[in-house]
Amino acid sequence: MLAARFKARGQPLSVEHIEVPKLGVDDVLVEIKAAGLCGTDVHYRRGEFEPERIPLVLGHEGAGVVKEVGSNVTHVKPGDRVVVHYVISCGHCKPCLRGHDNWCRNRLTIGHSVDGTFAEYVKTPARSAIKMPEGVPIEYGAITACAVSTAFHALNVSGIEKGDDVVVFGLGAVGLHAVMWAKFYGAGRIIAVDPINSKLETSEKYGADILVDPLKTDAAELIRNATEGWGADVVIECSGSQKAMEQAVKAIRGKNQFHTGTLVSVGLQTQPWQVEYWGFREGWLTVAGDHTRSEIDQILKLIALGRIDLSRSITHRISLREIDQGIELLESNREHVEKVVIDMAKR
């Protein structure tokens, strides 16, 4: 099969033929039809971190058709369309038993610990193969595996309530979907912050009310003015920028030390940053973990019911052999990009 493998920090992925993985009794072999590129793949290419073993097939967003199942597998069968949930959980540790499979004490990660979805086939434990409802396009399933569900999980973690003022820093694919979910959950004002004009304009289509270019406007001051000095109820930081995080901290602070909002950090922070103790009294600063199997299932049902619309989410479709051009596209900002999806049918 054709696959894109990580072989060294900061180097292009190697697109080459490797063997189709062999299944265990509890495994499923999925023929990948669509796989999404993520900001994490940019970090791999830059050499900011690397997978747990090398070489490794990257890719953690994917959906396809079940090709083969192990002898113990009963809930999916060949021909079923599935989303590949990249969290491999044990199902029996305390977090798993409480429904937090993303916190699994024995977890592995597809595309980081074991071979991922940038391949024609991927092997996954059956519990990580989530059946897709009829009518949901396969490429929507692929981006639900991370970009859409990461934003969904971040809003769930935030404890958002109807009417809350919400700020989203960083309008990549996760940030734009965070705006979408904030609207879905009934946010009051939604403030979108990004230095790229095309992303700001797009966020308005997803539901943003106030658009802020932080290079031209003091975002923290604008947010204070828009919230009568009390700061935002919820801030979702999706850029991974140190400066954005510092502004996000200011954005949840109110007029006094007794009131702060909630800040959820989603973007991968690769540089150190500091916060002051004062100003977080009973507020909340947290890093959103990975989404759960249950959340992916919820999103797929919402798509099937027409409650959310992902028709504008995918802006670029490439072949597997074009994967490095796709990663460069994500990192370059030379044109408007939301989601780049590998269409396995493209040659």
33 and 75: one domain? yes
Domain coverage including residue 53:
2-131+313-343
Q: What pLDDT is recorded for position 197?
A: 93
Joined tokens for residue 151:
């934003």
Per the domain annotation, does 143 fall within a domain?
Answer: no
When divided into structural domains, the chain yields a total of 2
Distance CA 229, CA 247 (A): 15
42 and 124: one domain? yes
pLDDT tens-place string over residues 126-161: 999 999 999 999 999 999 999 999 999 999 999 999
Q: What integer is the mean pLDDT of 47-76? A: 94
167 and 271: one domain? yes
Per the domain annotation, does 325 fall within a domain?
Answer: yes
Could you give the residue ranges of the DSSP H alpha helices within 164-280? 173-184, 197-206, 219-226, 242-251
| Run of H or E including 157 | helix 149-158
7 and 91: one domain? yes
Per the domain annotation, does 304 fall within a domain?
Answer: no
Joined tokens for residue 316:
């670029």
pLDDT tens-place string over residues 268-292: 887 888 777 776 767 788 888 789 9
Last-in-domain residue among 271, 287, 303: 287
CATH of residue 67's domain is: 3.90.180.10
Better pLDDT: 6 or 282: 6
Only one residue has tokens 């946010």, namely 187
CATH of residue 252's domain is: 3.40.50.720
Preceding amide of 12 cis, omega within 30: no
Long-range contacts of 14-19 (CB under 8 A, 24+ apart): 14/55, 15/320, 15/321, 15/323, 18/57, 18/119
Q: What is the pTM of this model?
A: 0.94
74 and 173: one domain? no
pLDDT tens-place string over residues 13-47: 999 999 999 999 999 999 999 999 998 888 888 88
pLDDT band at 63 (very low <50, low <70, confident <90, very high): very high
230 and 163: one domain? yes
